[in-house]
Chains A and B, each alone.
Chain A
Amino acid sequence: MEKNLALVLLLAPLCGFLFNVFLGKKAGKGIVGIVGTLSILVSFVASMYFFSLIQSTGKPFQVDLFKWITLEKFNVNFSFLLDQLSVLWLMFVTGIGTLIHMYSISYMHDDENMHKFFAYLNLFVFFMITLVMGGNLLILFIGWEGVGLCSYLLIGFWYKNQDYNDAAKKAFIMNRVGDLGLLIGLFILGYLFNTLDYATLKTAILSNSDILSNPLVGIAALCLFIGATGKSAQIPLYTWLPDAMAGPTPVSALIHAATMVTAGIFMVTRMHFVFDLAPYVQDVIAVIGAATAILAASIGLVQNDIKKVLAYSTVSQLGLMFLALGFGAYEVAVFHVITHAFFKACLFLGSGSVIHGLHGEQDMRNMGGLRKAMPITFWTMMISTLAISGIFPLSGFWSKDEILMTAFHGNIVLWVVGSIASIMTAFYMFRLMYLTFFGEFRGTEEQKHHLHESPSLITIPLIILAILAAIGGLISLPGNSWLNHYLAPLLSKGEHAAHHLGTTEYVLMAVATVGALLGIGLAYSKYIKNGEVPPQDSEIKGIAKTLYNKYYVDEAYETLFVNPIYRLSHFFRNYFEVFFSEVVFAFGKIANAIAIQGKSIQNGNIGLYLFAFVLGVSSILIYLFLV
């Protein structure tokens, strides 16, 4: 019974995909939306069931289907694991997934390819479930690359535009760089332990104390982390995520904010027993996380595209999660993953609602004063903005606070960096809110005339997500954390986040809150009190210009990696290929030259022929008699 239900959980979105692909166009938009949404809802309900099952029994549930890849030393099976971690992830993936599907019914209604959109979205959820539910690293890898594919398809959903196609391609390729790392990590683990099953790996590692001295374990951890930097958009592989905003907004909310980009955090948490053995790699993770957090936040300060701000914000928040992972505080990272999923999904959907209301306008310089026309969008986004800024008692306050507290106890420099990133977050988020919803409307008269609140299929998901963004912190209150308790059986070092509330903690909370208020205050004085509007692109100068151009990282990558490879390709094609080809012909020419020499011997001179004949016969005779 449980096995079948697990299969339903897994396959329902796939059925939705197949339906929408093959029958979607005929069925019509209404049916497409309903089938697409229901197929995710089914998975959500099934996840709830497993959640309650695991709550009551505490035992993980494993499904083994059949043998997949056979290697000399071990096999890899199609197996699925439902335990505390995967069920938790499944719940928010399918839960938020359902809401975003619902939202998309209205958002994508005017698109002629709506059935394709729902097909890809369903397929994405299917691969995401595969990624999360897989019982070994290779099933995770199916999902890992599968969600990458769906991301590619959805970023390039409007494929007539080659710029969007470029963005889609970039996302896929940068992810593949990470995937190579992940794959090498898998090879090392398979080579060392002859298995890729989570459970067996864990036992093998924990029971084998010699392994501590093996440098390969550290390399494996590093390789896995490289994989995570691709999928979760960390330095150096983060530049695809902002470009990924070319996709329709529900995609940005679901894939590029709430679910897919958290896969790296999921994987590291899943493989925590490997990372725990590699403190150096953990240091690398913490540093990369903090660096990404502040880098992306600083770029976010000056972006004018509403979705770009949110994209950099996502990169930055993911950086904070890795900061926590670097200190081995897995449950803290998971906590922030969940709260972030709520408020960031809400923010993206809200921005979608705004864009929808303005018929495609994404530049905040052409918005303003939308508060009155779009009150629900405004209020839900406001709650989420307060949450992401870390204002008490909303969810972001609790989760971000735990990360900063962990950093504080680990490394004071990283705490400072994380705190500055948080102040920046408060600033750019309120900048976004002020520019969008306050002041006077700066768009065209035509747009102004058509301003309206979005329909309820859009606002209901917003309201639900805003509520979750507000109260999500309840799952892990300091001192009495349900989440830590829930994940304790999985994470051997579960006591990390169980900070006792002492003076230090209260002081840190106060500091964080002051920081957030500072950021908000700055934004207020700049954009409300002074009523500033960001200048046009050509007028951006100084540091702001560097920030606006994202530190020219894309250009640097272009110069350092892309162009040299293309030049090499050019060189190979024009010189190497010709050279090797000529070498072959040279052999032919040599043979030809010998033949011409040979031809001159056959000149009709009987005497020469006779001489050769006699020479030959005597050689044979000598050979026969003497040798």
Chain B
Amino acid sequence: MNVSFILILLLFGTFATYLAGDKFAKTVALFFSLASVAGSIFILNQHNAGIDESFMINWISNPNIYIALKVDGLSLAMLLLTTVLTSLILFSSFGNNYNNSKSFYALVLFMSFAMVGTFLSADAFLYYIFWELALIPIYFIALIWGNGDADERKRAIVKFFIYTLAGSLFMLVAFIYLFQKAGSLLIGDLYAIRLTENEQFWIFAAFFLAYAIKIPIFPFHTWQANTYQMSPSVGTMLLSGIMLKMGLYSVIRWQLPIAPLAAKTYMDIFILLSVIGVVYGSIVALKQRNLKKLLAYSSLAHVGLIAAGAYSLSFDGLRGAVLQMIAHGFVVVGLFFAAEIIERRFQTQEISEMGGIRIQDNKFASMFMIVMLASVALPSTFNFIGEFTLLYSLYNVNIWFAVIAGTTIILGAVYMLKMFQHVMLGEQTDKVFKGITIQESVVFVIIIAVLLFFGLYPKPINDLITPALQDIVTKINKL
């Protein structure tokens, strides 16, 4: 069994889910998603035992294109993140009823398929296909099952679709150029080409457009808040928890090692943009009245920090970025799930219409609070490790980057605690908050367990990603 099995499993699961019909779709989807988790764990064990489960066959002989899937610590970490979070997201949606749920759940699994493919691909052509493929299911999920006014939603979602698609086209052009040079699109061959500084600049810039929009990095973020707000919570979680990590992952996997010289030359600019995103996102979040939009801007701030760390090109920066990608994935799913739980009961996302929830459901309040504290990087949560490492890597570039990005620990506390106060605390209002269900608590308990466990003992993830990141750092520094 090699890693392609997981892709086949997810694709098969997509069809099976659709065929299972509306009644059983979610169960079947969850089953296949959990099977993909099991498969990932199996691959992890093989990897730890030193068995390489990579996969490569020639797909098209002319031009020379391979179906190449690479397993290393980095792709494995992302594989696990995707499969585990998809399962969690699927499970979290069990409390909802969707029209045409067989299509809905099939699309979710298909999305998981495309994202896993993106993380595993070691051939640029294949990678590009998966990258674009991931856009299709989320487009439909957001458009059809989203909330809010239909016209407004269409406007926001189509914007998101066109915008990200347009950015990716530049990446495609870059790949075509690289193919001309290397005669192959295998990642190893692309790493090996020697590009002039000028060429690197254009390649880097083309990649940057694609990734900056996907991540998103300031000022390419305008699709984000509205898309997050209008997607159904499953869509928001998929987008914020996993899909934006495709951009961050690609920076580390494709952009930096292929154009290291450009990365080094323009490092300060890209860090600066990312850091501006951190502060800007935090400040805009202060005045949001819509809970999901507030969380979207907070997410903008957090991924800005991750991008800044990655662009610092240091080992610490890359490691911090990967750790924080995982931590952020769990936290953001937890936060949006909390918003969903409230929306299920109050039918609103407006913060001003909430309040007095803690007094009615203390259990939910406690769990929400723990996730919120993780998101503001309280030490002993996983996010602290990521944030500390990232800020330290920025310090090593320039103390002011660390100070400016560090304001996130203050501003993050401001908008999060303010949000929590108005959403959860205070006297009971006339709105009745029905206590959270066991199924809902299970999702929280899993998230909290992950956040606390790796917050205290991140060694397993460190051990997994370190060799792969060392390879990449060596490549970046080998000029």
A→B interface (CB under 8 Å)? 66-72, 78, 138, 141-142, 144-146, 149, 152, 156, 159-160, 162, 165-166, 169, 172-173, 176-177, 179-180, 183-184, 187-188, 190-191, 565-566, 568-570, 572-573, 576-577, 580-581, 584-585, 587-588
Contact = CB atoms under 8 A, between A and B. Distances in A.
Contacts of B316: 71-72
Contacts of A78: 456
B379 A580 contact: no
A572 B284 contact: yes
Given A142-B379, A584-B222, A191 B286 contact: no
A169 B417 contact: yes
Given A68-B457, A580-B221, 18 more contacts: A68-B456, A71-B392, A141-B379, A146-B379, A156-B425, A159-B425, A160-B425, A165-B421, A165-B425, A165-B426, A169-B417, A173-B417, A180-B410, A187-B402, A565-B286, A566-B286, A568-B283, A570-B287
A362 B388 CA distance: 43
Contacts of A67: 459
Contact of B223 (A68, A141, A569, A584): A584
A575 to B, nearest CB: 11
Interface in B253-311: 280, 283-288
A588 B165 CA distance: 12
Interface string B150-184: 00000000010011001000000000000000000
B427 interface: yes
B477 to A, nearest CB: 12
B287 A573 contact: yes
A566 B287 contact: yes
Contacts of B427: 160
Contacts of A169: 417-418, 421
Contacts of B93: none
A568 B456 CA distance: 37
B284 A573 contact: yes
13 contacts: A68-B385, A69-B389, A70-B319, A70-B466, A169-B418, A172-B413, A173-B410, A176-B409, A180-B410, A187-B391, A191-B395, A568-B283, A584-B163
A17 to B, nearest CB: 12
Nearest to A21: B366
B380 A72 contact: no
Contact of A183 (B286, B380, B391): B391
B389 A71 contact: yes
B380 A573 contact: no
Given A142-B379, A572-B283, A580 B219 contact: yes
A69 B409 contact: no
A184 B425 contact: no
Contacts of A177: 410
Nearest to B428: A160
A162 B426 contact: yes
A180 B407 contact: yes
Contacts of B413: 172-173, 176
A145 B407 CA distance: 16
Interface in B411-437: 413-414, 417-418, 421, 425-427
B373 A149 contact: yes
Contacts of A160: 359, 425-427
Nearest to A567: B287
Contacts of B283: 565, 568-569, 572
A168 to B, nearest CB: 8
Nearest to B408: A180
B222 A159 contact: no
B406 interface: yes
Interface in B215-238: 219, 221-223, 225
Please indicate which of the listed interface residues B358, B392, B402, B458 has the most CB atoms of chain A within 10 Å of its own CB.
Answer: B392
A187 B395 contact: yes
Given A141-B379, A172-B413, A584-B222, A577 B284 contact: yes
B315 interface: yes
B402 A584 contact: no
Given A70-B462, A190-B392, A569-B287, A588 B407 contact: no
- Residue with the highest number of chain A CB atoms closer than 10 Å, among B285, B316, B379, B392: B379
Give the 7 A-B CB pairs with smallest separation, nearest first.
Answer: A569-B287, A187-B395, A569-B286, A142-B379, A581-B222, A72-B315, A159-B425
B403 interface: yes
Given A146-B379, A160-B359, A573-B288, A66 B459 contact: yes
Contacts of B285: 569
B370 to A, nearest CB: 10
Contacts of A566: 286-287
A69 B456 CA distance: 9
B349 interface: no
A495 to B, nearest CB: 36
Contacts of B466: 70
A328 to B, nearest CB: 27
Given A162-B421, A173-B410, A183-B391, A572 B280 contact: yes
Nearest to B427: A160
B406 A180 contact: yes
Contacts of B284: 569, 572-573, 576-577
Contacts of A184: 395, 399, 402-403, 406
B324 interface: no
Nearest to A585: B159
Contacts of A159: 358-359, 425-426
Nearest to B221: A580
A68 B456 CA distance: 7
B396 A69 contact: no
Contacts of A152: 417
Contacts of B159: 584-585, 588
A569 B391 CA distance: 24
B378 interface: yes
A162 B425 contact: yes
A124 to B, nearest CB: 14
A67 B466 CA distance: 15
B410 A176 contact: yes
Nearest to B388: A69
Given A187-B392, A569-B286, A584-B163, A145 B462 contact: no
Contacts of B223: 584
B473 to A, nearest CB: 9
A142 B456 CA distance: 11
B33 interface: no
Contacts of B219: 580
Nearest to B166: A587
Contacts of A188: 395, 399
Contact of A588 (B162, B358, B373, B406): B162
Contacts of B417: 152, 169, 172-173
B209 to A, nearest CB: 12
B383 interface: no
Nearest to B418: A169
A80 B402 CA distance: 28
A587 B425 CA distance: 44
B118 interface: no
A584 B227 CA distance: 15
A580 B222 contact: yes
A67 B457 CA distance: 8
B314 interface: yes
B414 A173 contact: yes
A556 B406 CA distance: 24
Contacts of A588: 159, 162
A145 B223 CA distance: 35
B425 A179 contact: no
Given A72-B315, A160-B426, A187-B402, A66 B457 contact: yes
A68 B458 contact: yes
A145 B374 CA distance: 12
Nearest to B280: A572
A142 B283 CA distance: 26
Contacts of B287: 566, 569-570, 572-573
Nearest to B378: A145
A92 to B, nearest CB: 24
